[in-house]
Amino acid sequence: MLKKSVVCLLGAACVQNVAGHIALWHPSMWGFNMTEGDNRPVDPLADFTFDRWWFHGHLDHPPNNGDVLELPAGDQVTVELACHKGHTSYNATSGGPIDPKGETNSPCPGAPSTQWHTENEGDVAGCALGIVQKSDVNQVSPEDFVIFSVNHKCVWTRMTDFKVPADMPACPPGGCTCAWFWIHSADSGSEQMYMNGFRCDITGAKPDAPALGQSQVARRCGLDPASGRSGNPSNCTQGAKQPLYWLQKERNNMFEGILDPPVYNDLYGFKDGAQDDIFQQASSNTANLIASPNATEDASLSSSPSPPAAPSSSATLSSTEIATPTESSLISDSKTPTGEPVSPGETLTAASRTIASTHFSGLPSKPKRLTKHFRRPTASANA
């Protein structure tokens, strides 16, 4: 079994004017050499059409044949988080390595942590790896991805581990399709999301490994000390979960406001480390707690939830558990504020973003988070 693989998750400019955007750098990624121009892998994704944000718009720049990121089942893959390709073992596309200034384990040597969108180590919000059991990237859709590993301390240090579930099934011939996802906290920099895709393969898979379950939309359910909101564990999505698609013109599955970003940690039911509940046999035990993104909230909060009722004219939530109207923003809604269904390609309106960010269960509608730290980063240099 491959004991440890070293890859690079990094991005953004750390030379001259620094804005610590992050990307996944590895030869297996789409857009590996796209380090110049206006669509570098390190550039943040916000308010884009689907073809522009999906795989960072790099589907026309695939990795070379044979370049694959190996993911050892039951072990971990060690990655490098940095703010410039030149700070990795792959060096810059041109110009060679960049001096780390003695900060060899910093993701952005010589820069304050605000340059990678965090006030301090306690302010990081986590990042994740997702996988699809398909080798043809053109057959992959957003709903196919399953988040299989999460690191709550991402992004903080350059060297970062992602644990791989022991029951990960083998990939089909040609390998799997993977992606790295990150949404930072609201305290430092303008809000956006990050996605970079790469070819991957599971090594050391068990012959009888269970299949991955059908991923569902993650729901807000954890304690949020930053805003003073209490958690609701019964509202957590059980089993395999989709990535958090947010703040784009099309194909969002998250509708929170810019001061309440969806994140890859306990707030949305993502535990730290390997996600061991993503398999069909594990998901079957909690199937009644999982609903499609278009399901209606019309059952009681009990250990034996009832089937969902028919959609009504009011806005509904993606869960089979009952929720009061003030809980709507804690969960990604599949309908507009007027009750009309949101199609996968429909543009998110400003009105729905506003409603999704101002109502919370049993607590004041206005978050307590201070907004004085909400600022835009400085202009970045080319990675």
Please give the full DSSP string across 194-227, using - where no structure is assigned: EEEEEEEEEES--TTPPPBPPPB--B--S-BTTT
Q: What is the pLDDT of residue 245?
A: 98
CA angle 229, 233, 237 (to 5 degrees): 115
**HSE toward the beta carbon, residue 182, CA cutoff 13 A:** 33
Q: Which amino acid is at 346?
A: E
The predicted-structure confidence for 331-343, as pLDDT tens digits, reads as follows 344 444 344 444 4
Q: What is the pLDDT of residue 101?
A: 66
CB 291 within 8 A of CB 269: no
Q: What is the pLDDT of residue 32?
A: 85
Low-confidence ranges of the chain (pLDDT < 50): 1-19, 287-383
Q: What is the pLDDT of residue 79?
A: 78
Strands, DSSP E only, in 243-297?
A: 273-274
| Threshold 0.75, pTM exceeds | no
Torsion on CA atoms 364, 269, 138, 2, rounded to nearest 10 = 150
CB 215 within 8 A of CB 181: no
Expressed in angstroms, the distance from the first to the final Cα of the chain is 34
CA pair distance 294, 297, nearest whole angstrom: 10
Closest CA to 222 of 319, 321, 361: 361
Q: What is the pLDDT of residue 320?
A: 33
CB 131 within 8 A of CB 145: yes
Q: What is the pLDDT of residue 176?
A: 98
Closest CA to 45 of 192, 214, 210: 192
Beta pairing partners, 8: 25, 80
Give residue 184's Cα distance to chain centre: 10
In percent, the amount of the chain with pLDDT more than 90 equals 43
